[in-house]
Amino acid sequence: MMKKWLDKLWLLAESKGARRTLATVSFTESIFFPLPPDLLLIPMALANRKQAFRLAAICLFSSLLGGILGYYVGYFFMDLLGMPIIRFYGFDDKYLVIKEWYDTYDAWAVAAAGLTPIPYKLCTLTAGAFRIDLLVFIVASTLSRGVRFFTIAGLIYLFGDRARYFLEKRFDLILLGTLILGIAGFVAIAFLE
């Protein structure tokens, strides 16, 4: 089953609309979509190593645009749109804890969400709702998301064929690891006091 899924990712990575799909996933993941763009960035960069940094830039730019939209959704429409998204992911009881994070850590809380498995969508919505300075939000998001996406691109650029071989042979472990990191982010939020 994993082999079929990997084959589909390779086909998508080499398809005509792959960049558009990558941009869409990166944009929507910043607001509501559950899957991280890394799951597309990796096979796309492996399929065309010379484009790895350009693909990382697409992820970063799209993610930032989505993040800014998420910020404004939180700023203007938190009750109407933002809270249903937060409730969907089961974070409604952590809403005020996140406010404390912002009060205490400001840009570092934004950077942590952009770089770690903590869901970035939670960061974007609450940053707007709690009126974090927009420029601070953009700079912290740019730095953290940039490090994340460009590190992936750099590793693929440096280790291209070996990385692809490893991915094909150990895809089930990589997928499991990615899922565990994603779940760990959700669990970390769930256990906040």
Q: Write the DSSP string, 67-115.
A: HHHHHHHHHHHIIIIIHHHHHHTT-GGGHHHHHHHHHHHTHHHHHHHHH
Task: For the beta carbon of residue 173, count every other beta carbon within 10 angstroms.
Answer: 12
DSSP 119: -
Buried b (16+ CB within 10 A) or exposed e, 64-100: bebbbbbbebbbeebeebbbebbeebebeebbeebee
More confident residue, 161 or 81: 81
Our CA angle for 112, 155, 9, nearest 5°, is: 90
* Domain around 107: 2-190
Q: Does residue 35 register a pLDDT over 70? A: yes
Alpha-carbon distance 44 to 63, whole Å? 17
Two tokens at 57?
Answer: 């830039």
Two tokens at 21?
Answer: 């799909």
Q: Does residue 63 register a pLDDT over 90? A: yes
What's the structural domain count of the chain?
1
pTM: 0.78
**pLDDT on residue 1:** 47
Two tokens at 87?
Answer: 């409730």
Of 125, 117, 76, the closest CA to residue 98 belongs to 125
User: What are the helix and strand counts (H, E) for the chain?
Assistant: 10, 0
Mean pLDDT of 74-86: 92
Q: Does residue 16 register a pLDDT over 60? A: yes
**pLDDT on residue 187:** 58
Beta carbons within 8 Å of 55's beta carbon, 6+ residues apart: 19, 22, 41, 44, 45, 48, 153
Say if CB 95 and CB 84 are below 8 A apart: no
Average pLDDT, the chain: 81
